Structures are given as C-alpha cells and as structure tokens.
Chain A
Amino acid sequence: MMALRERAVVSLRSVPSLPKHVRIQYDPLRQAFAVLSPEKIFWPNDVSLDILRRCDGRSTVGDIIAGLAADYEAEQEAVATDVIAFLQEWSDKLLVRL
C-alpha cells in the first residue's frame, strides 16, 4: 500500500509561501506577470497576483485576508471565502506551500 501525501488544509493560521521552484516573472511582451513552475506557466489575474505576492512565509492567511480587504475596500467575508478557496486549490496543485 503506497503512502499518500497528507493533504494540507488552509486555515486562518496557515502561513503560505511559494516553494523554491515557483516564481513570479514579468513578461514584457504581454506586459503581464506570469507564474512559472517547472513545465507549467500560469497567467494570474491581478487579484491572484496580489494574493501570491503576500505568500511570503511570514504572513498568516488571516493577515493576508485583512490586508486585501483593506486594500480593496472589500467585505472581509467575501475576500476570506475567495482567498481560502484559491490557496486550497493551489496548495493541492503544489504551487503554494502551507
């Protein structure tokens, strides 16, 4: 029986970071930022980019949500729902480390 990786679950106390193999790079041709990982390239929208830039290995998910809600003058609850779902999806795809 093969041992499966335990799924990391996002909580407000999680401290997300980008693994070493993932980086954000500006593409002058498209004038947009790309997220590069081995064999995959992603084009994030500006909200995604703002979330990923805050995954610095120091801020908790709670900090990130509060910061974004203030920045966007948005309802914290709506921001929390989207940020947690986003981080869970990309943690599952190994693009974000929790």
Chain B
Amino acid sequence: KNWKKPTMCQVAGFEISRYLP
C-alpha cells in the first residue's frame, strides 16, 4: 500500500436522507 496524505471529503441535507430510516 502506498502512503499518501489522508483526506476526507465532506458531502453537502441532500444526501443524508439516504441514511435515515
């Protein structure tokens, strides 16, 4: 595995409903 900088993209309400019952 190659080490690279750790990144986290934040997703915009719009998507979150997919994760709710």
Contact = CB atoms under 8 A, between A and B. Distances in A.
Interface of B is mostly: loop
Contacts of B3: 47, 68, 72, 74, 78-79, 82
Report, as a range, how many residues of chain B touch the other chain: 10 to 19
B16 A48 contact: no
Interface residues of A, number: 25
A87 to B, nearest CB: 9
Interface string B7-21: 111110101100100
B6 A82 contact: yes
Interface of A: 25, 34-36, 39-48, 51, 68, 71-72, 74, 78-79, 82-83, 86, 90
